Chain A
Amino acid sequence: MNNVLIISTNTLNIINIFNYLKTKINANFRAIIITENKEVLLPIKSCIIKTENIYDIDISIIEKIIMDEKIDIIISSSEIETKSIISKLAVKLESGVLTDCYDIVLKDNIIAYKYALPQDCFAEVISKSKIKIITLNIQNTVLKYENLKNETIIILPNLYNKSNIIEKIKTDNQRGIEFSKKVIGIGRGVKPQDIDMIKQFAKKIDATIGYTRPVVYDGIGEKESQIGISGKIIAPDLYIAIGISGKEYHIKGVEKAKKIIAVNNDINAPIKKHSDYFICDDYKHFLKVMSI
């Protein structure tokens, strides 16, 4: 039987990963959560590594738990904070890390599946290391705590004392695109100077704005409004895609929308196959007609 360790900085991630894994692997499960919070409820035997600055902890403590519990598989969530810990741990364990996987299959080895960006492919990847380390990118289906009982120990880790937090400010928590009933997606087919025009239209129809991955990486769109596999998965009542070709990694982010209207002056744009309505025209003309 395998010994699996789930690691995250977020309790809900651990619960969701555990729910996902218990259908896939027959194993003994343990969890480590690295957090400031003392009160944590988890469905499995777990350890809370209590710290404010996760980047300053001496991760030998995690290495010791792995050795003591004879862990052979480490699964974590994929946010940057957790990945940073996992990456450092991988150096200590001399193990590879399979990152951002959306599925795993246990055969002779563990085969993990991840989207291979920017191509519209997925890759089958394996680790040749003795201890398998995988970061998962799965949708959280459990969104709140239930009645959980567990064995939890709290550990105060050794710190390197080489960095510390001097200020923390909550940033403007505007409701994100994932909560909007109407979203307009802006792709590379939109000229940067026309984005304001689209924003005005969005205001008129009470929609929020999202951006494709290339538009965000070009420094034009906000990161928090990125739509797609490496951004946000959204399910609005209406999605209007403007200047978006329709790469699969983007479509995966919007396929749950109730209605999709796509505007693209390329009649062969792949997005039309995923749309309810396709308008092959210049987006400025579309906006003008819709605004009258």
Chain B
Amino acid sequence: MKIIVCLKYIVKEENIKFDNNGNIIRENVEFKINSFDEYALENALILKDRHNFEIITITMGPLQTIDLIRYSISKGADNGFVISDPLLKGCDAFITALVLSKAINKIVNDRFMVFCGLKSEDGETSIVPPQIAERLSIPFIPLAIEIELNQSNAIITSQTKNEKIKYLSQIPCVISFDISKTKPRLPSLKNTIKAKRFNPKIFSLKDLELQFNAIEKSPTQVISYKKIEDNIEKNFKLIDIRNKYEVENIKKIIYE
């Protein structure tokens, strides 16, 4: 059984800048792994610990994202792929899901699952995982916090606002994971050494039998970004907590 884990790299908040098309500049900037994807990866690694499944990570972005795949190898993933093509720059979630689905089809044969993070920290659309499922014609379960296997099915525990729901799903399936109490593991020394030597295969659009300019093909478009205006400003009072009168006033408010 193969578990494909989709990873996205997120430009660190303090480094975010936009190009003239209103897209985040992703080249040569410091990035981090999308937090939700850490939980998808950890749940995949837990299943590897139990059942010795093969964990394959994939990501889409500039060549710099090779480091993201190496990071996943340092945690225990077995293999990884990067989809990188200049024509993909500035694509939206619809195109991302299309491209990832094509890549997954190329990598797997019969028995597999696809794990994703519930959403990305930058876009927060949550569109990609269900669209991958729809394109692959396989079931989709979101909000997962736990997964186990039962013979040929997956038992997925999802946490909604008010309920914990257990689903029994056929395999293959797509599951999106939420942040949970399961703590993502740290890289191991052995795997970190393996990761340093690892070179993931790189797919171009041509390798996936796709040919388009992503910005033109993307069905959604950002027209502009504008700073949020400071609508409500207050005349704040600067409090010195070494001044006992000011402290008493604040205490009155706090303990009221």
- Which residues of A are at the interface with B, using a C-beta cutoff of 8 A? 53, 55-56, 80-81, 83-85, 87-88, 90-92, 94-100, 111, 115-129, 160, 162-171, 173, 182, 205, 214, 216-219, 223-224, 230, 238, 240, 248-249, 251-252, 255, 259-262, 272-281, 285-286, 289-290
Complex Cα gap A102–B245 (Å): 44
Q: Which chain A residue lies CB-closest to B98?
A: A91
Complex Cα gap A290–B64 (Å): 49
Complex Cα gap A125–B226 (Å): 12
Which chain B residues lie closer than 8 Å to A238 at the CB level? 253-254, 256
When the two chains form their complex, are residues A123 and B165 in contact, meaning their CB atoms are under 8 A apart? Answer: no
Q: A122-B225, A205-B254 provided; 9 other pairs, C-beta below 8 A?
A: A90-B94, A99-B127, A100-B125, A164-B167, A168-B165, A216-B179, A217-B121, A251-B232, A276-B237
When the two chains form their complex, are residues B168 and A166 in contact, meaning their CB atoms are under 8 A apart? Answer: yes
Q: Within 8 Å of chain A (Cβ to Cβ): is B59? A: no
Q: Which chain A residue lies CB-closest to B218?
A: A96
Q: Which chain A residue lies CB-closest to B172?
A: A162
Which chain A residues lie closer than 8 Å to B133 at the CB level? 88
When the two chains form their complex, are residues A97 and B220 in contact, meaning their CB atoms are under 8 A apart? Answer: yes
When the two chains form their complex, are residues B220 and A127 in contact, meaning their CB atoms are under 8 A apart? Answer: yes
Q: Which chain A residue lies CB-closest to B135?
A: A91
Q: Mark B216-245 against chain A: 1 for CB-CB distance below 8 A, else 0.
A: 001111111111101111101111010000
Q: Within 8 Å of chain A (Cβ to Cβ): is B86? A: no
When the two chains form their complex, are residues B220 and A273 in contact, meaning their CB atoms are under 8 A apart? Answer: no
Query: Within the complex, which residue of B134, B140, B169, B238 is in contact with A92, where a contact is CB–CB below 8 Å?
Result: B134
When the two chains form their complex, are residues B232 and A96 in contact, meaning their CB atoms are under 8 A apart? Answer: no
Q: B123 to chain A: closest CB distance in Å?
A: 8
Most chain A C-beta atoms within 10 Å of own C-beta, residue among B123, B168, B231, B239: B239
Q: A96-B220, A124-B224 are in contact. Are A277 and B236 (CB under 8 A)?
A: yes
When the two chains form their complex, are residues B127 and A160 in contact, meaning their CB atoms are under 8 A apart? Answer: no
Q: Within 8 Å of chain A (Cβ to Cβ): is B146? A: no
Q: A80-B126, A90-B127, A205-B255 are in contact. Are A123 and B222 (CB under 8 A)?
A: yes
Q: Which chain B residue lies CB-closest to A83?
A: B126
Q: Which chain A residue lies CB-closest to B138?
A: A162
Q: A167-B165, A274-B233 are in contact. Are A261 and B254 (CB under 8 A)?
A: yes
When the two chains form their complex, are residues B122 and A224 in contact, meaning their CB atoms are under 8 A apart? Answer: no
Q: A221 to chain B: closest CB distance in Å?
A: 9
Chain B residues bordering chain A, tally (CB within 8 A)? 74
Complex Cα gap A274–B222 (Å): 29
Query: Is chain A's binding surface mostly helix, strand, loop or mixed?
Result: mixed
Which chain A residues lie closer than 8 Å to B247 at the CB level? 289-290
Q: Within 8 Å of chain A (Cβ to Cβ): is B142? A: yes
Number of A-B contacts (CB under 8 A): 224
When the two chains form their complex, are residues A275 and B118 in contact, meaning their CB atoms are under 8 A apart? Answer: no
Q: B229 to chain A: closest CB distance in Å?
A: 9
Query: Is chain B's binding surface mostly helix, strand, loop or mixed?
Result: mixed
Which chain B residues lie closer than 8 Å to A252 at the CB level? 228
Query: Within the complex, which residue of A92, A124, A277 is in contact with B239, where a contact is CB–CB below 8 Å?
Result: A277
Which chain B residues lie closer than 8 Å to A84 at the CB level? 126, 130, 140, 142
Complex Cα gap A90–B168 (Å): 25
When the two chains form their complex, are residues A87 and B219 in contact, meaning their CB atoms are under 8 A apart? Answer: no
Q: Which chain A residue lies CB-closest to B171?
A: A162
Complex Cα gap A91–B139 (Å): 15
Q: A79 to chain B: closest CB distance in Å?
A: 8
When the two chains form their complex, are residues B167 and A81 in contact, meaning their CB atoms are under 8 A apart? Answer: no
Query: Within the complex, which residue of A87, A117, A255 is in contact with B127, where a contact is CB–CB below 8 Å?
Result: A87
When the two chains form their complex, are residues A275 and B236 in contact, meaning their CB atoms are under 8 A apart? Answer: yes
Q: Which chain B residue lies CB-closest to A92?
A: B134
Q: Within 8 Å of chain A (Cβ to Cβ): is B178? A: yes
Q: A12 to chain B: closest CB distance in Å?
A: 13
When the two chains form their complex, are residues B222 and A125 in contact, meaning their CB atoms are under 8 A apart? Answer: yes
Which chain A residues lie closer than 8 Å to B22 at the CB level? 123
Q: A278 to chain B: closest CB distance in Å?
A: 5
Which chain B residues lie closer than 8 Å to A281 at the CB level? 241
Which chain A residues lie closer than 8 Å to B256 at the CB level? 238
Q: Within 8 Å of chain A (Cβ to Cβ): is B166? A: yes
When the two chains form their complex, are residues A260 and B234 in contact, meaning their CB atoms are under 8 A apart? Answer: yes
When the two chains form their complex, are residues A118 and B221 in contact, meaning their CB atoms are under 8 A apart? Answer: no
When the two chains form their complex, are residues A230 and B166 in contact, meaning their CB atoms are under 8 A apart? Answer: no
Q: A216 to chain B: closest CB distance in Å?
A: 7
Query: Within the complex, which residue of B13, B143, B254 is in contact with A240, where a contact is CB–CB below 8 Å?
Result: B254
Query: Within the complex, which residue of B142, B163, B166 is in contact with A171, where a contact is CB–CB below 8 Å?
Result: B163
Stretch touching chain A among B67-75, B153-161, B194-202? B153-161
When the two chains form their complex, are residues A173 and B179 in contact, meaning their CB atoms are under 8 A apart? Answer: no
When the two chains form their complex, are residues B239 and A278 in contact, meaning their CB atoms are under 8 A apart? Answer: yes
When the two chains form their complex, are residues A80 and B118 in contact, meaning their CB atoms are under 8 A apart? Answer: yes
When the two chains form their complex, are residues A162 and B169 in contact, meaning their CB atoms are under 8 A apart? Answer: yes
Complex Cα gap A205–B130 (Å): 44
Most chain A C-beta atoms within 10 Å of own C-beta, residue among B124, B141, B183: B124
When the two chains form their complex, are residues A121 and B178 in contact, meaning their CB atoms are under 8 A apart? Answer: no
